[in-house]
Amino acid sequence: GCCQGNSVERKIYIPLNKTAPCVRLLNATHQIGCQSSISGDTGVIHVVEKEEDLNWVLADGPHPPYMILLDGNLFNRKVMLQLKGTSRVSGLAVAIAKPSPPQGFSPGLKCPNDGFGVYSKDYGPQFAHCNKTVWNPVGSGLSYEDFDFPIFLLEDANETQVIKQCYQDHNVPHDGSVPEYPLCAMQLFSHMHAVTSTVTCMRRSSLQSTFSINPEIVCDPLLDYNVWSTLQPINSSGKVDPEKEVIIVATRIDSHSFFWNIAPGAESAVSSFVTHLAAAEALHKASDIHLLQRNIMFTFFQGETFDYIGSSRMVYDMEKDKFPLRLDNIHSFVELNQVALRNDSILWMHTDPVSRMNESVEVQVRNLLDILSSSSMGANVTLQEAGYSQPLPPSSFQRFLRARHIPGVVLTDHKTAFQNRYYQSLYDTPENIRMQYPEGLSPEETLEYVTDTAKSLAEVATVVARALYRLAGGANNTSAIQADPKTVSRMLYGFLIKMNNSWFQSIIKPDIKGILGDVPQHYVAVSSPVNTTYLVQYVLANLTGAVVNLTKEECLNPEKTPSSEKEMYEYAWVQGSLDPNSTSRVPYCVRSTVHLSKALSPAFELRQWGSTEYSTWTESRWKEIRARIFLVASRELEIITLVVGIAILIFSLLATYFINAKADVLFSIPRDPGAVAY
């Protein structure tokens, strides 16, 4: 029969399985984030639900160090700096605040990506370091602090309740008396291998790779892929004709929060790239796109949160002739950047006042603004200029402006400071962009339900698509160019609520169906491509590509088919929808102009790990990330147990020694009385 053992460990520890750690990131000069000691950090749990509860941890409590279970509403800079300055805290578990903190919460910087945009002492010094406009006033900069104790997010309310119950049962002081042992304790493991800065950790990794057979890499650059496609196909391995003008439409597709791989990014990323995808679909449906005198390139940048990784790499590749386009080919630049939280349907058009001092740039920018404004006629979107005195908000366009004066506009829902009070935080969720569904819908009905947010973003996409059509030289009436709110709804559901849905399943390749996790996160990470990149790639191919009549073999090896024009198109054999009468799918071949290009900072290509021009962000490696709670005995009892154990060990050793020494007496064989000696 089968014998089932119940391990001692399971009887002692309760593991916490739904947690997210704060990990260490490094750049050219700093390390930020958190870590535990090499064997994990342990402390007696104390629940902090209001600021007065901190006194017990910081001064009164007799059992330091403490592991704090912190209410999400108290997870702010003031409290965290108090905890950072004491040795009485060994770690922190943060409970998610429900509802989101009403005053807003952004652990990002007040001036995002400062120093890596276009404004500096040499270019618009009056706008450098957000002198003119503080874009993220609620930014506390917590994500950019360095903590020498572990900090974990508790994602599951049930696990939070288990910890609170353990605390109530064992740790709550009664009638002013000190709580008695055993006490409820927590242990957090998140030891990081990299220290100091990217320069140090990359040098160590490089030396290991050079001299060791089994190199121990201590950190990895943040990297992924940009997704791009063109309205008219171009030779992706060749070079676009220098006379050919291209309009670039851009958005970022990554976000960030204080905790590793928790990056919902509803307003900071998803609202804009979903609008961008919807505009691309609307344009591809226009009948005369092959006649347009200018091409349009749809670009989705990865890693923009970390000092513009994706856009700086694309500019670098264009300058070094490693990309089909050159900077000279760019006619103009339109960027979508946080567009879901519009007041009175106003969308603000931001331009760069410095490059507009050049007369030819000013003429083109003016034309761009006029076309955008007139494209909003009849739509429920009002476009307004942010004005000359305003610099550009943090945007990928700034990296292109660093290279040359390109006419461009950045579209946002804010004139000055962000409307988004949860920028780069775990609360930048569907609720933040006012996505609401009726009660009782099935997942399939929720996927198809058109929310007000979807209608509103579809209106923005319509305006953008019509403006791009006219900017590219389109002469026909633009009223037929219309973004589909149903498509926007599906994308918002897939990118914000549930990746593993029937639509996403049907449009991706069978061999990557494992990427469809449940809750979508949009952190750039170090293993690429991440889920977001794959899905943006396949959604874009689905919305702008064409189904072609090729077999699986021909689709996977298009170079064998003479008419495939392999250098102009990408081919993908996708899963297809479920056959209504069976459990099998009906796969098909999609032909599109969607490509991936590297989003790895040029600093790593050039081995300039201390660069101040390019992003230098790396992520430390670690061995294990885990959390658990258990009951801990008093120090006295532990010492008594140890002493008794040692005494028993010494006694048993002495007993064994004496028994062994007298073995011939103790274990001698008695003589047989009947035996006769001769």
What's the average model confidence in pLDDT over 374-393?
91
Between helices 452-471 and 359-375, what is the axis angle to 10°?
Answer: 130
Q: Is residue 610 part of a domain?
A: no
- Express the helix, strand and coil content of the chain in percent, nearest 5 each: 35, 20, 45
- Residues 538 and 553 occupy one common structural domain: no
Per-residue pLDDT at 678 exceeds 80: no
Quick one: pLDDT at residue 675?
56
Q: Is residue 585 part of a domain?
A: yes
Quick one: pLDDT at residue 582?
79
CA distances from 282 to 120, 232, 618 (A): 38, 14, 38
User: Which stretch of 45-49, 296-300, 635-639 has the lowest confidence by average pLDDT?
Assistant: 635-639
User: What tokens appear for 348 in the block?
Assistant: 């603000």
Whether the bond between 99 and the residue before it is cis, its omega within 30 degrees of 0, is yes
Per-residue pLDDT at 235 exceeds 60: yes
What's the average model confidence in pLDDT over 502-530?
90
- Residues 586 and 484 occupy one common structural domain: no
Three-state secondary-structure class, residue 206:
helix
Q: Residue 418 half-sphere exposure, CB side, CA atoms within 13 Å?
A: 28
Per-residue pLDDT at 653 exceeds 90: yes
What's the average model confidence in pLDDT over 311-340?
96
What's the average model confidence in pLDDT over 207-214?
88
Q: pLDDT digit string (tens) for 76-106?
A: 999 999 999 899 999 999 999 999 999 999 9
Quick one: pLDDT at residue 175?
76
Q: Residue 600 half-sphere exposure, CB side, CA atoms within 13 Å?
A: 13
Per-residue pLDDT at 453 exceeds 60: yes
Host domain of residue 92:
7-191+625-636
- Residues 126 and 235 occupy one common structural domain: no
How far apart are the C-alpha atoms of 460 and 482, rounded to whole Å? 10
- Residues 24 and 76 occupy one common structural domain: yes
What's the average model confidence in pLDDT over 7-14?
87
Quick one: pLDDT at residue 177?
80
How far apart are the C-alpha atoms of 314 and 310, rounded to whole Å? 6
Q: pLDDT digit string (tens) for 186-196?
A: 999 999 999 99
- Residues 75 and 178 occupy one common structural domain: yes
Phi (first) and psi of residue 154, to 5 degrees: -90, 110
- Predicted TM-score (pTM) above 0.95: no
User: What tokens appear for 245 in the block?
Assistant: 């003008």
Quick one: pLDDT at residue 46?
96
Three-state secondary-structure class, residue 440:
coil
Quick one: pLDDT at residue 677?
52
Query: Which residues are CB-contacts of 130 (< 8 A; sequence separation ≥ 6)?
Result: 110, 111, 114
Q: Is residue 654 part of a domain?
A: no
Quick one: pLDDT at residue 409?
97
Query: Which residues are CB-contacts of 266 (< 8 A; sequence separation ≥ 6)?
Result: 340, 428, 429, 430, 432, 433, 435, 496
Q: Do the Cβ atoms of 10 and 630 come closer than 8 Å?
A: no
Count of CB atoms within 10 A of residue 305's CB?
Answer: 29
- Residues 163 and 148 occupy one common structural domain: yes
Q: pLDDT digit string (tens) for 415-433?
A: 999 999 999 999 999 999 9
In the sheet that holds 219-221, the strands lie side by side as 31-32, 25-26, 618-620, 219-221
Q: Do the Cβ atoms of 575 and 505 come closer than 8 Å?
A: yes
What's the average model confidence in pLDDT over 609-628?
96
Quick one: pLDDT at residue 5?
52
CA distances from 276 to 250, 326, 571 (A): 8, 22, 22
- Residues 409 and 470 occupy one common structural domain: yes
Per-residue pLDDT at 2 exceeds 70: no
Q: Do the Cβ atoms of 273 and 537 come closer than 8 Å?
A: no
Which residue would you say has higher pLDDT here, 664 or 622? Answer: 622
CATH number for the domain spanning 476: value is: 3.40.630
SS3 readout for 215-281: CCCCEEECEEEEEEEECCCCCCCCCCCCCCCEEEEEEECCCCCCCCCCCCCHHHHHHHHHHHHHHHH
Q: Do the Cβ atoms of 133 and 112 come closer than 8 Å?
A: no
Per-residue pLDDT at 203 exceeds 50: yes
Q: pLDDT digit string (tens) for 356-370?
A: 999 999 999 999 999
Q: Do the Cβ atoms of 298 and 511 come closer than 8 Å?
A: no
Give the residue carrying structure tokens 């060749």: 238
Q: Is residue 198 part of a domain?
A: no
- Residues 539 and 550 occupy one common structural domain: no
Per-residue pLDDT at 134 exceeds 90: yes
Per-residue pLDDT at 674 exceeds 70: no
How far apart are the C-alpha atoms of 492 and 514, rounded to whole Å? 20
What's the average model confidence in pLDDT over 318-345?
95
Per-residue pLDDT at 488 exceeds 90: yes
Per-residue pLDDT at 668 exceeds 80: no
How far apart are the C-alpha atoms of 37 and 41, rounded to whole Å? 6
How far apart are the C-alpha atoms of 479 and 423, rounded to whole Å? 35
Quick one: pLDDT at residue 563?
80
Quick one: pLDDT at residue 1?
47
- The DSSP secondary structure of 474-499, one letter per residue, reads --S-GGG----HHHHHHHHHHHHT-S
Q: Is residue 612 part of a domain?
A: no
Which residue would you say has higher pLDDT here, 459 or 581? Answer: 459
Which residue would you say has higher pLDDT here, 4 or 482? Answer: 482
Q: Do the Cβ atoms of 589 and 569 come closer than 8 Å?
A: no
DSSP state of 283: H
Q: Is residue 300 part of a domain?
A: yes
- Residues 186 and 253 occupy one common structural domain: no
Q: Is residue 213 part of a domain?
A: no
- Residues 416 and 320 occupy one common structural domain: yes
Count of structural domains, the chain: 3
What's the average model confidence in pLDDT over 497-520?
91
- Residues 138 and 99 occupy one common structural domain: yes
Q: Do the Cβ atoms of 530 and 578 come closer than 8 Å?
A: no
Q: Do the Cβ atoms of 414 and 338 come closer than 8 Å?
A: yes
Count of CB atoms within 10 A of residue 9's CB?
Answer: 10
Per-residue pLDDT at 4 exceeds 80: no
- Residues 100 and 175 occupy one common structural domain: yes
Per-residue pLDDT at 135 exceeds 50: yes
Angle (nearest 5°) at CA 422 between 335 and 336: 10
Q: Is residue 242 part of a domain?
A: yes
How far apart are the C-alpha atoms of 649 and 642, rounded to whole Å? 10
What's the average model confidence in pLDDT over 634-655?
90
Quick one: pLDDT at residue 395?
97
- Report the run of H or E that residue 401 belongs to, with start and end: helix 397-403
Quick one: pLDDT at residue 518?
78
